[in-house]
Structure 1
Amino acid sequence: MSDGERPRGILSPADRAYLRGETTFDSDQSERNARARIRERMLAGLRDFDLLADALSERDRELVFGKHVGDDPEAVRSLIAALAVCYRGADEAALDFGTLLEEGVSRAEADRNVAAAVDFEVRREPLDADRLTRKLRRTGSLTLSELSYLRETEDVSLDRLLDRYATDVETDEGDDWVQAKMTSF
């Protein structure tokens, strides 16, 4: 389902078009109003998760995630993006994401009458084309964000890396993600 066909979620179709740069406004005030509406909807959507966690039936959740997310790469990317937004938002709110994650997992597991412990660690390294190329040679794998960085940087050609290291490269027309099985090391 394309963005234009997708029903309103947190964002309306007009909000999506604006954020993609497809819409311009006649005045600065109209643009400020659109941005304010997006922020309000985002906060309201975030608050809706409290109700969804408590009141959405297990069956409905299973239908959404089991039927629509698990086998849909676009939906999986969206789930990853939701976590990325929450991770960055927690940092911007001066909240510890690891603590929030532990509380969220504990809340979900408590519904199953299970206690949960969460280990969460973030190791940060600057993205650098030379370091990532060495990592690719050494380990044979990169994360999707690392591949994305290499794809966008002008320091190294992702096509050159894929030609040298990949077999079984699959791309979908219009899809900006490349899936490759790295084997030549």
Structure 2
Amino acid sequence: MDRAERPRGVLSPADRAYLRGETTFESDQSERNARARIRDRVLAGLYDADLLADALSERDRELVFEKHVGDDSEGVRALIAVLAFLYRGAEDAGLDFGTLLEEGVSRAEADRNVAASVEFDVHREPLDADRLTRKLRRTGSLTLSELAYLREADDVSLDRLLDRYATDVEAEKADDDWVQAKMTSF
């Protein structure tokens, strides 16, 4: 869906333009007011998620995700962004994201009369171009986030790395990889 034509969600079109840096305000107070409205809408959106999880019909949920998200790289990218936003927000609130994730999955599976267990573990390593270049030489692959980091790194030419390390893949797989790679951008 074209972002300019998208209807209002948590953010209004004006909010989106402001967050993308396309809008400026005449006064500092106007900007503070806009930021406060955005924060209020984000909080209201979180509370709306509770209602959506309980009250939106299964068919409506399926239509949103199967029809509008599943085959749309922008929709998948939006799901990834939601998870990233919630991950950071949980940290800001002093909450353990893994515990929240386990509770959320358990809640969803309980609706299907299934008990679920979740294993969630985060391994952190600083991103730096030299380490990623060595990993690429050693393994021949990088994650999408690592590729995105290298794309933005001033001291590494991603084109040079791709020319040197890219391998041939079937055309159909290449198309799928392109869509996936397009989704992650720092």
Q: TM-score over 0.5 for the alignment? A: yes
Please report how far the alpha carbon of residue 46 of structure 1 lies from its aligned counterpart in structure 2 after TM superposition: 0.8
Other-structure match for 1:16: 16
Other-structure match for 1:160: 160
Pick the structure with more helix per residue.
2
Other-structure match for 1:113: 113
SS in 2 for 1:119: coil
Structure 1 unaligned residues grouped into runs of 5+: 180-185
Contact kept, 8 Å, 2:68 with 2:75, in 1: the verdict is yes
Distance 1:17 1:178, change over 3 A: closer
SS in 2 for 1:49: helix
Other-structure match for 2:60: 60
- The code of the aligned residue for 1:100 comes to L
Other-structure match for 2:88: 88
- The code of the aligned residue for 2:73 comes to P
- The code of the aligned residue for 1:177 comes to K
Greater CA drift, 161-170 or 124-133: 161-170
Other-structure match for 2:3: 3
Pick the structure with more strand per residue.
1
SS in 2 for 1:177: helix
Q: Which string of whole-angstrom CA distances, capped at 9 and with x for unpartnered residues, describes residues 48-96 of structure 1? A: 0000000011101111111111111110000000000000000010000
For 1:36-51, what aligned pairs fall within 5 Å after superposition? 36-51=36-51
Please report how far the alpha carbon of residue 177 of structure 1 lies from its aligned counterpart in structure 2 after TM superposition: 2.5
Other-structure match for 1:177: 182
Distance 1:65 1:178, change over 3 A: closer
- 2:102 and 2:141 map into 1 onto residues whose CA distance is 28
- Larger relative contact order, structure 1 or 2 (CA cutoff 8 Å, min sep 6): 2
- The code of the aligned residue for 2:182 comes to W
- 1:25 and 1:178 map into 2 onto residues whose CA distance is 31
**What TM-score does the superposition give when structure 2 sets the normalisation length?**
0.90
Distance 1:178 1:48, change over 3 A: closer
Please report how far the alpha carbon of residue 178 of structure 1 lies from its aligned counterpart in structure 2 after TM superposition: 7.9
Contact kept, 8 Å, 2:77 with 2:183, in 1: the verdict is no
The reply to whether residue 122 of structure 1 matches residue 127 of structure 2 is: no
Question: What RMSD in Å do the two structures reach over aligned CA positions?
Answer: 1.8
- 2:56 and 2:76 map into 1 onto residues whose CA distance is 20
**What TM-score does the superposition give when structure 1 sets the normalisation length?**
0.90
Structure 2 unaligned residues grouped into runs of 5+: none
% identity of equivalent residues? 80
